Amino acid sequence: MKTPEPIVEIAATGRYLPSNVVTNDDLASVVDTTDEWIQSRTGIRERRIGPDDLLAAEMGRQAAAQAMERAGVEAGEVDIIVVSTATPDRWLPSTACDIQALLGCDNALAFDLQAACSGWLYGVTMAEGFLAAGRGEVALVVATEKMSNILDWTDRSTCVLFGDGSGAAVLRPSDGQRGILSAHHRSDGHLAELLHRPAGGVRQPLDDTALQSHDHLLKMSGREIFKNAVRSMAEASDKALQQAGLTGDDIDLMIPHQANIRIIEATAKYAGIPMEKVYVNVDRYGNMSSASIPVALDEAIEEGRVRPGMNILSATFGAGLTWGAMVWRT
Ligand code: UT7
């Protein structure tokens, strides 16, 4: 397939990470685990955990403000704010509206998008469509995840895996050279129970029973999720590469979702991309759900690993199930 001309580009990025570092040894004093188990099964050494009262909106505001400043965008110029979060500060209204108010983006429409770990990549595609249709000139796509507030700190099989963080990007119409070349996204609601928070909604209201059984907190069938993640990220990467008219050999940098180093290695191997070309920060932050990719992208740019004319591949997977991949040129 011929490489398509990009219509929308990622103009700038930003990130926010709470300063509090929690190591694997710190967690070993909370649950029955070891640094050795966590590192060998996941590649995670430490993660950031914010204070209980740190809001997802405040984290998102800081990441978004940095991206806007780098893009040279004023608050009033933003036309759309898409916020991916699995940890909204409240059920109604959206965290996106809180971020809009904090930033003073008074000319924007703002809404939350719930696609778990895949949310930022989904959001980029939604914003791309909005800009491509000519509905606006500037889009803000934010992922903000306060995972520590929804973890079961008595469940060693999940609480060691996640961390808090936020990443954001400003999207603008492309000059025809830089920008998004392809994207492939899918979901499978039949497998919802593999990774979920059962209580707190209409289906299972938050009552004493739910609280006692910790049903309001995140539950995961790790092994099943692992298998699905490897398969789905590989398949999505394939489809996105095909759509972009490229192969793994053409990719200069892969920025995958950061859930587990073994999932990252398997996805890169399948796509034919050597690990030297894969950006990894799961060791420092754990799984920040949908904030993983924009934080990694922002760090890769800051470290000089993203240079003009590069082809970048991102792939993601999360609850839903949801998954996807995107290829873009810098
Ligand atoms: O962002 C997308 C969502 N999340 C993911 O993508 C995560 C996907 N899953 C994974 O990354 C892996 O499945 C895990 C890291 C969660 C688990 O690794 P695993 O190699 O699949 O281990 P396992 O589930 O097969 O568990 C092996 C053993 C179990 O003990 P038994 O039953 O074999 O005696 C667990 O009880 O490890 C035990 N275990 C632990 N031991 C020490 C589970 N958690 C821990 C722990 N410390 N924290």
Which pLDDT score, from 0 to 100, does residue 141 have? 98
Closest-lying ligand 1 atom to the alpha carbon of residue 31: 48
Residue 260 a catalytic site member = no
Q: Is 27 in the pocket of ligand 1 (CB under 6 A)?
A: no
Query: What is the rounded average pLDDT for all residues in the chain?
Result: 97
* Among the listed residues 244, 255, 237, 252, the one whose alpha carbon sits nearest the alpha carbon of residue 325: 237
Q: Could you tell me if the CB of 225 is within 6 A of ligand 1?
A: yes
Residue 97 is among the residues annotated as catalytic for this protein:
no
Mean pLDDT of 97-123: 98
Q: Which of 117, 159, 185, 311 is labelled catalytic?
A: 117
Domains of the chain: 8-175 (3.40.47.10), 180-329 (3.40.47.10)
Contact 289, 119 (CB under 8 A): yes
Cβ neighbours for 328, distance < 8 A, ≥ 6 positions apart: 6, 9, 10, 178, 179, 180, 181, 311, 312
Residues of the chain above pLDDT 90, percent: 99
Q: How far is the CA of 12 from the centre of ligand 1 (A)?
A: 36
**Dihedral of the alpha carbons of 185, 189, 195, 199, in degrees to the nearest 10:** 130
214 catalytic? Reply is no
Residue range 215-226: mean pLDDT, rounded: 97
What's the pLDDT at 1? Answer: 80
Written as one letter, the residue type at 306 is V
Distances (CA, A) of 169 to 68, 213, 224, 249, 307: 8, 38, 32, 26, 17
Q: Is the pLDDT of residue 22 over 90?
A: yes
Residue percentage of the chain with pLDDT more than 70: 100
Task: In whole angstroms, give the CA distance from residue 70 to residue 1.
Answer: 34
Nearest to 268 by CA among 284, 279, 282, 259: 279
**pLDDT tens digit string along 241-296?**
999 999 999 999 999 999 999 999 999 999 999 999 999 999 999 999 999 999 99
CA 206 centroid distance within chain: 27
User: Distance (Å, rounded) from C-alpha 109 to C-alpha 79?
Assistant: 6
